[in-house]
Structure 1
Amino acid sequence: SSIKFVPNEPLLVSSGHDNSLHVWIFDQTDGSGRLLRSRSGHYETPTRVRFYQNFRSLLSAGEDKTLRYFDIIYAPKDRELSQGKILHRARQKQVSAESLKLPVITQFSFGYARERDWDNIVTVHRENRFAYTWSWENKKLGKHRLSSVRQRKNVQTTACCVSQ
């Protein structure tokens, strides 16, 4: 579960065990809040939620091993960022699609500058030594898997940061 206030706005965004995101607005004369918008999409608990694109949208990671985009204003834009042709590969290998997904995302970071030119999102995953890039422009897993040159196989990556 997580809650975040929107800076300089009477808005609060919450996520919880019901696997949905709620936007609350505090505009009542008595100072109380009311539900403004609600979105769902993760079928397991959200683990990380961050504002994206000047607080107009959210990026959200969940226990369901997905990275999702939520537009705060226009719900039809909501989508899961693709990890590739998982269903096709699962059928070929005769394994479950779930087993081919990247592990649960534990941290992510992004930059807005030139997001149309290259991968601009970086994710770190549970019990994984690599960081992965994602393309916002293409809404999918990017081309790069990042690792420290000296990183041993039994080491896990725990943090990432993209400078603005």
Structure 2
Amino acid sequence: MTNPMRQTPGLPTPPKGWPVGSYDTYAQAQRAVDYLSDNEFAVENLTIVGVDLMQVERVLGRLTWSKVIVGGLGSGAWLGAFFGLLMTLVAGSTWTPILIGVGAGMVFGLISAAVPYAATRGQRDFTSTMQLVAGRYDVLCDPRAAEKARDMLARLAI
């Protein structure tokens, strides 16, 4: 019979520890841990936890057919140039594999960009980036060392 308290490596587990600091940004929490590290604190006892998670999508701009086509051609050309260069190194040939690779890559890039954009039928005519951010960042510490960490962080002006 297996122990029900045994943790399976790699599976998400809730963080444990006592809070020793709470910060508005990840950079501040990271600075606090770095400060503790610089002062010889055993940082393996610490965990940075993002609380009140939000998924934030920042809209970058309007997406048009011309941007889709140029983006597909450009990314395909780079990929084709890379494979053409590899073929040139392997075959010891001249510029021919690179030129064929760029041409084939542009065709592939155009198709792989245009087909998904056409499939949306104008439902998503913008580009964006996605981020997972937290409302605050808590630094947790093993209870045996929490008091020392809290005292040290009290001397840090963030």
Q: Shorter-chain TM-score: which interval?
A: under 0.3
TM-score by length of 1: 0.20
TM-score by length of 2: 0.21
Report which of the two has the higher share of helix.
2
Report which of the two has the higher share of strand.
1
Structure possessing the higher relative contact order (Cα contacts under 8 Å, 6 or more residues apart): 2
Give the greater-gyration-radius structure (CA): 2
